[in-house]
Amino acid sequence: MKKIGLFFILVLAFGLRLYKIDSPIADWHSWRQADTSAVSRNFIKKGFDVLHPRFDDLSSIPTAGLENPSGYRFVEFPFYNLIQASFYHFFPIKTIEWWGRMTSIFFSLGSIIFIFLIAKKLINWPVAFLASFFFAVLPYNIYYSRVVLPEPMMVFTSLAMIYFFIQWVDREKFIFYPLFVSLATISFLLKPFTAFFLIPLFYLAFRKWRWQVFKKPSLYLGLVISLIPLFGWRAWMSQFPEGIPKWTWLLNHENIRFKGAFFRWLFAERLGRLILGFWGLPLFVFGLVGSRNKKEGWFFYWWLFSVFAYWSVFAAGNIRHDYYQILAIPILVIFLAKGVFFLLTSKSFDRFIRFPVLIASLLFMLAFSWYEVRDLYQINHPEIIQAGAAADKILPSNAKVIAPYNGDTAFLYQINRQGWPHVTVSIDYLISRGATHYVSVNFDETTKKLMEQFKVLEKQDQFVIIDLTSQK
């Protein structure tokens, strides 16, 4: 019966995530999705060279000064890109973008299973069902479970890491140890942020072995083994500084940490409004103040603390980008589920009051959150898709394109060529660096001058394509 219930949650989750599955990469955070998918697409074009991942941006914008003529893209290890590109390579019946979204959906469904397993083992199966259900239906999580980003895979591997560690500590069977170490290794390579989850894991180990935990060589060995590939990848990356985006601003740009804006954006705008739709906050609080059983102890509170530590350390990144909060969704839905279970079982409230209040809260939470999230699916500039399709059709495959779009690489991605997403230097200099064409959806002064100076290959009301190798 429990398996059937979980199966229906998975089916529901899958169906919800198919919403606008064929949408081009021009929706919210299109620049980050385009950069991710470009690496996968270049695996198809140039070969599966995982040690030299490339994307479409040749400019110095990501590195704040270093030009990137090879288009290197060194961030997370390209596990996600390998899977996306492999799906497309073996099953080219759909676009590579579609396969990217499906890859994220598959990992999201896997995350639902591990949330269920963790909550069932440490709490009970009703909370496990509720947590899985909320992970499946929260509008914020639906959107970010079908984006072309490595974050859904990161959530999956971090949950698997946590689950296998729980099993290893609880049952002390060796089979769980290599599974934990392997998943930890992949998680750290995908996003080093997941190392914050070592905090609640240490709590579990300390609770089991107390001070003897410091005499457990297997713990240190597992940590070392899982971190060696990360440090190796970082050392390799350092040889290609032009391909490493600037990241120090993520920590505390403009000293935002712990200021009023920090708390407002994270707890009011993101947690309260975007993720929990206002009405989910009381349920989350009930989960915090509700009872704990002996098996869970303070584990989930330490997990929540690790998320707050992550928000605090990478304060500017979390304020700037709402997708940085994806890491927090699993523990948020667990406390949300605990809050609902508390209301359902508590004798402190009359059942003729708590049931209508609970149903209203859930409906309003989902409705208001959807009201905020629905715009994320919106394609605000369809002209870049039209221009990109036209340019991709007529330009040679080795063309290097200037596609000014305020630094957003989504336009370059639609053109399917490498180039420059913003004009920060003279056009003549970019031509000397290999630029062959100029594609614009804005008829500004620069575009008009280039139209007078060079041959226009195609001009429509929405865009123009100019050949920079052929002067008039």
pLDDT digits (tens, 9 = 90+) for 70-94: 999 999 999 999 999 999 999 999 9
Per-residue pLDDT band for 450 (boundaries 50, 70, 90) equals: very high
Q: Would 292 be classed as within a structural domain? A: yes
Q: Would 28 be classed as within a structural domain? A: no
Tell me: do 313 and 371 sit in the same domain.
Answer: yes
Q: Would 428 be classed as within a structural domain? A: yes
Q: CB count, 10 Å around CB of 85?
A: 24
* Helix, strand, coil fractions of the chain, as percent rounded to 5: 65, 5, 30
Q: Would 59 be classed as within a structural domain? A: no
Torsion sign across C-alpha atoms 350, 353, 356, 358: negative
pTM above 0.75, yes or no: yes
Tell me: do 360 and 420 sit in the same domain.
Answer: no
Q: CB count, 10 Å around CB of 307?
A: 21
Tell me: do 318 and 397 sit in the same domain.
Answer: no
The residues that bridge with 418 in the sheet, in sequence order, are 400
Query: How high is the pLDDT of residue 353?
Result: 76
CA dist., res. 168 & res. 165, Å (int): 5
Tell me: do 147 and 222 sit in the same domain.
Answer: yes
Domain housing 152: 2-22+95-376
The answer to whether the beta carbons of residues 130 and 337 sit under 8 Å apart is yes
Tell me: do 222 and 329 sit in the same domain.
Answer: yes
Q: Would 83 be classed as within a structural domain? A: no
Tell me the mean pLDDT in the region 374-403.
95
Tell me: do 406 and 347 sit in the same domain.
Answer: no
Tell me: do 409 and 370 sit in the same domain.
Answer: no
Tell me: do 100 and 166 sit in the same domain.
Answer: yes
- When divided into structural domains, the chain yields a total of 2
CA dist., res. 325 & res. 276, Å (int): 12
Tell me the mean pLDDT in the region 447-465.
94
Give the Cα-Cα-Cα angle 321, 370, 340 (nearest 5 degrees): 100
393, 448, 411, 333: which is closest to 56 by C-alpha? 411
Tell me: do 174 and 104 sit in the same domain.
Answer: yes
Q: Would 51 be classed as within a structural domain? A: no
Phi-psi region of 25 (alpha: psi -120 to 50; beta: other; left: phi over 0): beta
Query: How high is the pLDDT of residue 182?
Result: 97
Tell me: do 333 and 462 sit in the same domain.
Answer: no
CA dihedral 55, 57, 62, 65 (to 10 degrees): 130
Tell me: do 438 and 324 sit in the same domain.
Answer: no
Q: CB count, 10 Å around CB of 27?
A: 18
Q: What is the pLDDT of residues 141-179, one digit of tens each?
A: 999 999 999 999 999 999 999 999 999 999 989 999 999
